[in-house]
């Protein structure tokens, strides 16, 4: 029989539901989680937000009694956005007593941390990562917690089909497998014609050549699949709209930044959409998520910088549930506990279940109103597009 985990109760009553379990083995008086992430360098924009969201969740869980009275403690190291340093940072955290590891939010930047954890017999997770290839490369006790690249690509393609956009131009940042894998799945799901495509990279700062090609394609282009991240997307949108391109633009949660409306302007954001794991940027958000954001702002003095803050917040409760079920930090027991989770309800998202150590999770389409404010468009189930 399916078990329904209703963790949203924590946001109202300070407690959460979990499966049956034995008494928790509080080794050394705390659960020590090592956070091996970029605090500096180009990838810090994503990793810092995720680490902060995790911290807010852990604060709430500790305030509610921790794991059966066992406090959760975070220790952190800086990978400096350098993939070559990630494993070393994780190893140092393990030496300091980390019992499980939080890896960076991208496969290319974070695989070293997960390998280090696995080599030491520890459970590890990248709360926001989407790479199925990552779970296959590091076995058996590593998880990714974000919507998979396949589900993102399928949902973006399915949404484009629902909107009736019959001609697509694809712009992909080929520096990251996160984007290239999405493009592959988008192509299999999208039913319209691919009018054209361009590859950009980490160093692209001027999109005028790409914009010129899209404009030359004229009315054939009904939608641009912009497979890149902020701040790149802000630059692209400004240049595209300035060139008179009015085609719809669709992408993923890496669009998410509260400064995007300031960069692009309200007019430039009309018919711009992105698919993410949660909607948190607007005024009409889930009340429980609003309380999380208030806590984030109080603790860090800023609104969550991007979606990673929300997904990592979710991960705190996913881990807390698994720790209670497992009864310890034993890697194999935690892996079994996470894989057993079904229909896990969190504010603004549903984790339907896990397969091969990645989740099936609901997808939220976010857009913009006439004033340029964020708005929730609809909640979709990626499984319906496969």
216: pLDDT strictly greater than 90:
yes
b/e 55-87 (16+ beta carbons within 10 angstroms → b): bbbbebbbeeebbeebebbbebbbbbbbbebbb
Pairing of strands 223-227, 358-361: unpaired
- In this prediction, residue 22 carries a pLDDT of 59
Q: Say yes or no to pLDDT of 68 above 60.
A: yes
Q: Is there a contact between 56 and 295 (Cβ–Cβ < 8 Å)?
A: yes
pLDDT at 14: 37
Q: Determine the Cα–Cα distance for residues 50 and 306; give it in Å rounded to an integer.
A: 8
Is the confidence at residue 13, as pLDDT, over 60?
Answer: no
CATH topology of domain 7-147+285-355: Rossmann fold (3.40.50)
Q: Do domains 7-147+285-355 and 149-276+364-385 have the same CATH topology?
A: yes
Is the separation of the CB atoms in 352 and 362 below 8 Å? yes
Q: What is the pLDDT of residue 178?
A: 86
Residues 18-36 have pLDDT tens digits of: 444 558 999 889 999 999 9
Residue 317 binned pLDDT confidence (cut-offs 50, 70, 90): very high
Domain boundaries, the chain: 7-147+285-355, 149-276+364-385
In the structure encoding, which two tokens stand for residue 101, read together? 């590891």
Closest among 348, 284, 343, 340 to 310, alpha carbons compared: 348
Range from 173-182, 266-275, 329-338 carrying the lowest mean pLDDT? 173-182
User: What percent of the chain has a predicted confidence (pLDDT) above 70?
Assistant: 94
Listed residue (195, 186, 262) closest to 223, CA to CA:
195
Q: What is the pLDDT of residue 16?
A: 43
State the pLDDT at residue 23. Answer: 87
Number of helices (H), then strands (E), in the chain: 13, 15
For 254-294, write each residue's pLDDT tens digit: 898 889 999 999 999 999 999 998 999 998 899 999 999 99
- The model's confidence at residue 2, banded by pLDDT at 50, 70 and 90, is very low
Q: Give pLDDT, residue 150.
A: 93
**pLDDT value at 3 more than 60:** no
Indicate if the pLDDT at residue 9 is higher than 50.
no
Position 42 pLDDT exceeds 80: yes
- Kindly report the average pLDDT of the chain as a whole number: 92
Q: How far apart are CA 51 and CA 368, in angstroms?
A: 27
How many CA atoms does the CB half-sphere of 211 hold within 13 Å? 18
pLDDT band, very low/low/confident/very high, at 48 (cuts 50, 70, 90) = very high
- pLDDT of 131 reads 87
* Overall average pLDDT of the 59-80 stretch: 97
Q: Compute the average pLDDT of residues 311-320.
A: 97
Give the pLDDT mean for 358-366.
Answer: 95
Inform me whether the pLDDT recorded for 145 exceeds 70: yes
CATH code of the domain occupying 149-276+364-385: 3.40.50.2300
**Sheet containing 358-361: order of strands:** 344-346, 349-355, 358-361
Mean pLDDT of 221-229: 97
Which residues, 6+ apart, have CB-to-CB distance to 81 below 8 Å? Answer: 38, 40, 41, 42, 43, 44, 47, 109
Residue ranges in 96-164 assigned as alpha helix (H)? 107-119, 132-137, 149-163
Mean pLDDT, rounded, for 329-354: 95
User: Which tens digit of pLDDT belongs to each residue from 72-129?
Assistant: 999 999 999 999 999 999 999 999 999 999 999 988 899 999 999 999 999 999 999 9
Query: Can you spell out the DSSP letters for 147-182?
Result: PPHHHHHHHHHHHHHHHT--EEEEEEETT-HHHHHH
């Amino acid at each position: 029989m399916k078990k329904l985990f209703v963790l949203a109760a924590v946001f109202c009553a300070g407690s959460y539901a979990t499966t049956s379990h034995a008494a928790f083995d509080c080794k050394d008086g705390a659960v020590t989680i090592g956070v091996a992430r970029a605090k500096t360098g180009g990838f810090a924009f994503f990793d810092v937000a995720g680490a902060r969201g995790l911290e807010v969740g852990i604060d709430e869980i500790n305030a509610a009694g921790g794991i059966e009275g066992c406090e959760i403690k975070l220790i952190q190291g800086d990978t400096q956005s350098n993939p070559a340093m990630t494993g070393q940072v994780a190893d140092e955290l393990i030496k300091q007593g980390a019992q499980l590891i939080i890896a960076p939010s991208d496969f290319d930047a974070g695989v070293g941390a997960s390998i280090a954890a696995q080599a030491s017999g520890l459970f590890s997770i990248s709360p926001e990562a989407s790479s199925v290839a990552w779970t296959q490369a590091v076995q058996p006790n590593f998880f990714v917690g974000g919507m998979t690249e396949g589900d993102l690509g399928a949902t973006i393609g399915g949404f484009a089909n629902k909107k009736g956009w019959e001609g697509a131009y694809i712009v992909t940042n080929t520096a990251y497998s996160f984007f290239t894998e999405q493009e592959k799945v988008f192509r299999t799901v999208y039913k319209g014609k691919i009018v054209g495509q361009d590859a950009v990279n980490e160093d692209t700062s001027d999109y005028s050549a790409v914009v010129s090609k899209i404009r030359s394609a004229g009315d054939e282009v009904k939608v641009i699949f912009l497979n890149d991240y902020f701040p790149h997307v802000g630059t692209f949108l400004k240049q595209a709209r300035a060139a008179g391109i009015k085609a719809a633009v669709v992408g993923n949660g890496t669009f998410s930044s509260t400064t995007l409306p300031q960069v692009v302007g309200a007019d430039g954001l009309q018919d711009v959409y992105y698919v993410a794991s949660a909607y948190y940027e607007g005024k009409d958000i889930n009340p429980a998520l609003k309380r999380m954001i208030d806590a984030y702002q109080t603790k860090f003095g800023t609104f969550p910088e991007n979606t990673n803050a929300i997904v990592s917040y979710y991960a705190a409760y996913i881990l807390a549930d698994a720790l209670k079920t497992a009864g310890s930090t034993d890697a194999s027991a935690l892996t079994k506990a996470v894989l057993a989770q079904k229909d896990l309800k969190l504010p603004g998202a549903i984790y339907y279940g896990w397969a091969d150590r990645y989740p099936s999770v609901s997808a939220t389409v976010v857009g913009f109103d006439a004033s340029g404010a964020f708005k929730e468009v609809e909640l979709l189930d990626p499984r319906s597009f496969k």
